[in-house]
Chains A and B, each alone.
Chain A
Amino acid sequence: MAALRLDFTLPLRDFELTLALDVVRTVALVGPSGAGKTSVLRAIAGLARPSAGRIELGDETWLDVERGIDLRPEERRVGLVFQEYALFPHLSVRGNVAYGGRGRVDELLERFHIAHLAEVKPGTLSGGERQRVALARALAREPAVLLLDEPLSALDAHTKSQVRGELSELLHGLDLPTVLVTHDYEDAAALADEVGVIVDGKLRQLAAPAELVARPKDAFVASFTGANLLHGIARRAGDDLTEVRLPGGEQLFSSDHGEGEVGVVVYPWEISVARSHTVDSALNVVRGEIGSVVEVGNRVRVRIGPVTAEITASSSERLELARGGVAYATFKATGTRIVSL
């Protein structure tokens, strides 16, 4: 399978985007909005024209500014899934998928569980269904490169975790050079083999997810991959205590003060993990399914419901976190920060 080699400069409104990157498997580009992530995908697809540099797929040259080569979007074999999916509103689901290529339409409709929607127009579909149509359409093109723009951001929280799992499976099965961009580090870590942090058009660090958390190159990367940030509604719960109710119904307590819609910040290393609920001095207990278990050096980051805890590898083994199931994350009110959003 041919690798995608990127090395280009693309002038944007406020800054220049420069990127040098080899994509063999799945690379996720993360960063704050406005960092130039989507522009990377547009440049690869031929929808934006870099001022200098090269884009190559194996021994095919898609762009070489010096030699005056610039293949048009229809000549590059990319499957681009747009953030809002950009389905053709006037065509049925089948028409959308067939637009990319007629050869495997039925197979793709089956594979993405949208065969029963084949004659439906996209306007009536749910977010998850639209995404499956967009993926099927992109793959019908028989692309050599897959590009995903914020593949999970248009989905509600409930759909998102399920789709993330499906997408992860799909990407592993496809084995295509894939570039996905997201502002959510969790999504990037869950979907990609390598994660690149982009700020103001520059690639700050590119590494495996675990490596990025364990050895962040600078403070921005550290903060970007570090703390838990949960959203909730705060109200006073006593003398020096604030209660925050999360969307899932969990109650958290903080010794900080806050009112109304707030963010709750907890560092993963302030959270301890147990298999059963034990009463101790820590006020905050979150019960949840174990979502992911990521090794970070000699430590393990484990996702429990909405929070990520960081514990030692030996604790993780003792608790048999890798087999999944339910666990309890416990942390103190004094270690729980409230920030305004």
Chain B
Amino acid sequence: MRRVVAALGVFLATFVALGFLALPIVAIFVRVPPGRLIAQLGNPVVTDALLVSLETTLVAQALILAFGTPAAYVLASRRFRGRGLLVTLVELPLVLPPAVAGIGLLAAFGRTGLLHTSIPFTQAAVVLAVAFVASPLYVRAGIAAFEGVDANVVAASRTLGAGPVRTFFRVVLPLARAGLVAGAALAFARGLGEFGATIMFAGSLRGVTQTLPLAVYSQFDVNFEVALAVSALLVLISAALLVALKWLPSASTSRFRFATSS
């Protein structure tokens, strides 16, 4: 009897936990009939936001790959004093409150900030905000992926006549690829959902800096159905990325942990 009660208790707790996580997601889709949701995607506010989101996320992603890959490789392959400190610094934006990230970006790039730029409240500001919060996910995954490459295989390439550059492109990069792709996908998903730092550093100007998450926020007391439609779109994109990640071979071999994403 006691075993039955215990089993029932465990079952109930699991049911509540999963139900709690699933309910808001389900609610987005069932509150309004799907046909009307899809119709709302044609709203100019939505199409503007979609365009802004796509442009800024893709540019930010390109920057993250271009600068993050060499950074991750150096941090993974070199042992030097202060390396641990640098790695921690790279990871810091992951646990930073987004509002703090926004203030930090303003303090650095604002008109009266350290660098005195006119970036704030432009589309470039969105790109910077996205890159700031999303790149640590990629760099972290990149460090793990590069560290996973057998040092002897790299050495073998050198003794076989390949210089450091050729070795990197023909051996290191292909062997680290799966981990890098997983990190890039996570960074992309994080960047697409970026809200707090963007609204502080770039504002929410429709057609310029208003991304999909900002559109949700701006529409939820104007036209709740538009907010729902954009939310549904973001859920689908996130879900698709997550499923794609699980299909990648390296994601299942624990190269990457999800726990620290903010």
Contact = CB atoms under 8 A, between A and B. Distances in A.
Nearest to B158: A73
A62 interface: no
Interface stretch (A16-24, A79-87, A157-165): A79-87
Given A82-B152, A88-B171, A90-B174, A101 B159 contact: no
A80 B159 contact: yes
9 contacts: A46-B158, A46-B159, A76-B159, A80-B155, A86-B152, A88-B157, A90-B174, A99-B162, A138-B159
A89 B157 contact: no
A99 B159 contact: no
A47 to B, nearest CB: 5
A60 to B, nearest CB: 15
Contact of B158 (A47, A90, A137, A140): A47
A280 interface: no
Interface residues of B, number: 16
Nearest to B159: A80
Contacts of A113: none
Chain A residues touching B, range: 20 to 34
Interface centre among B150, B153, B160, B171 (most CB of A within 10 A): B160
Given A88-B171, A89-B175, A90-B174, A79 B161 contact: no
B82 interface: no
A82 B154 CA distance: 11
A74 B153 contact: no
Nearest to B153: A86
Interface centre among A72, A80, A86, A138 (most CB of B within 10 A): A86
Interface centre among B155, B159, B161 (most CB of A within 10 A): B159
B156 A86 contact: yes
B159 A79 contact: yes
Given A86-B152, A100-B160, A138-B160, 10 more contacts: A42-B155, A47-B158, A73-B158, A80-B156, A80-B159, A82-B156, A86-B153, A99-B170, A137-B156, A138-B159
A72 B160 CA distance: 11
Contacts, number: 60
Contacts of A78: 159
Interface in B130-166: 150, 152-153, 155-163
Contacts of B162: 74, 99
Interface of A: 42, 45-47, 72-74, 76, 78-80, 82, 84, 86-90, 99-101, 137-138, 140-141
A16 B21 CA distance: 60
A155 B7 CA distance: 51
A54 to B, nearest CB: 20
List 8 tightest A-B contacts by C-beta distance, closest first. Answer: A73-B158, A86-B152, A86-B156, A100-B160, A80-B159, A90-B174, A86-B153, A74-B161
Nearest to B149: A89
B150 A99 contact: no
Nearest to A48: B155
B104 to A, nearest CB: 40
Nearest to A97: B160
Interface centre among A80, A82, A84, A88 (most CB of B within 10 A): A88
Contacts of A76: 159
A133 to B, nearest CB: 12
Nearest to B170: A99
Given A89-B175, A90-B175, A101 B161 contact: yes
B153 A88 contact: yes
Interface in B84-137: none
B155 A47 contact: yes
Contacts of A84: 152
Given A90-B174, A90-B175, A74 B158 contact: yes
A140 B170 CA distance: 17
A74 B152 contact: no
B26 to A, nearest CB: 42
A138 B170 CA distance: 17
A74 B175 contact: no
A45 B159 CA distance: 7
Contacts of A138: 159-160
Contact of A47 (B159, B160, B161): B159
Contacts of B157: 88, 99
Contact of A74 (B159, B171, B174): B159
Given A99-B160, A99-B162, A86 B155 contact: yes
B161 A100 contact: yes
A229 B165 CA distance: 48
A183 B25 CA distance: 62
B75 to A, nearest CB: 21
Nearest to A82: B152
A182 B155 CA distance: 20
Given A47-B155, A73-B155, A80-B156, A86 B150 contact: yes
Nearest to A79: B159
A100 to B, nearest CB: 4
A104 B13 CA distance: 66
A64 B8 CA distance: 76
Contacts of B174: 90
Contacts of B161: 74, 100-101, 141
A182 to B, nearest CB: 18
A89 B152 CA distance: 12
Contacts of B160: 74, 99-100, 137-138, 140-141
Contacts of B153: 86-89
